[in-house]
Amino acid sequence: MTKTKVEIAPVQEGFSLIPKRKLLAMYAAMLECRRMAENSHKQIKRRMPSDSILGREAAAVGATFDLRSHDTVAPSLWPNASFKAINPSVEIAPGLSLATRSARENKDDQKITLLFSSSKSGSHIGWLKALTLAAEQNLPILFVSMDRKANSNSHINGETIPMKKNGHGIPVISVDGNDVVAVYRVASEATTHARKGNGPTLIDCQFSPLDDPLENMKKYLIGKGLDPEMLTA
């Protein structure tokens, strides 16, 4: 049987009450991310890398789903092609420095740059440099931290968040990284905040290894009276 195609709902529909077809589209994007990660893993025939999108589908989809055409994403999660599957309209930057440069160049165009943290060696320095620059120049960047486990004091809590020129710190919002709806709502608010010229936000996604984001979303959809099986039939 042919799979049902679910189109991404337009940004204008908002996020306070998420339309049912948008919920189904987010779940479909999560399924595609899982499929691509598992297929890529089989092809390279080695241990699943620590920076895989596998298990982080909710955070990736929730943060990226409503970005507009010409917004920029620096994925840092493997495989990068997953982000085009989530939102085909985004520009994919090959690294943090180029993505940050894009944010500086497009500061006055209401274009958003989305940076995901990475566990790769040496990437942490680039992440901190981007945070500092975004604070100093009030850049429209969403920083999405992917490294912290739930109830852990590591990473964000042990990191000095740079202050902006007006003396205010970058807003830091903690969210359940296994809950795509929660990430989506926070990212939507942070995106609106940035497009209005209010600068960067750091979204701290916390993960529980006992939770499967796909199963969480499946239960949520069923609770809304939707049938997630229509996407896999």
**What pLDDT shows up at residue 231?**
75
**What pLDDT shows up at residue 51?**
82
What tokens were used for 48?
Answer: 């699943």
**What pLDDT shows up at residue 14?**
37
**What pLDDT shows up at residue 109?**
82
**What pLDDT shows up at residue 5?**
44
Q: Domain containing 77: what range?
A: 18-231
| Distance between CA atoms of residues 45 and 93, nearest Å | 26
How many independent structural domains does the chain possess?
1
- 13 part of a folded domain: no
- 224 part of a folded domain: yes
Displacement of CA 45 from its chain's centroid (Å): 27
**What pLDDT shows up at residue 230?**
77
- 9 part of a folded domain: no
Distances (CA, A) of 6 to 21, 27, 32, 49, 54: 7, 10, 12, 30, 22
125: domain CATH number is: 3.40.50.970
As a residue count, the chain comes to: 233
**What pLDDT shows up at residue 77?**
87
- 160 part of a folded domain: yes
- 210 part of a folded domain: yes
Identify the three-state secondary structure at position 199: coil
**What pLDDT shows up at residue 174?**
94
- 7 part of a folded domain: no
- 40 part of a folded domain: yes
- Taking the chain (233 residues) in runs of 10, the rounded mean pLDDT of each run is 42 59 95 92 68 93 95 90 94 90 85 87 81 93 83 53 67 95 96 94 92 95 88 66
- 11 part of a folded domain: no
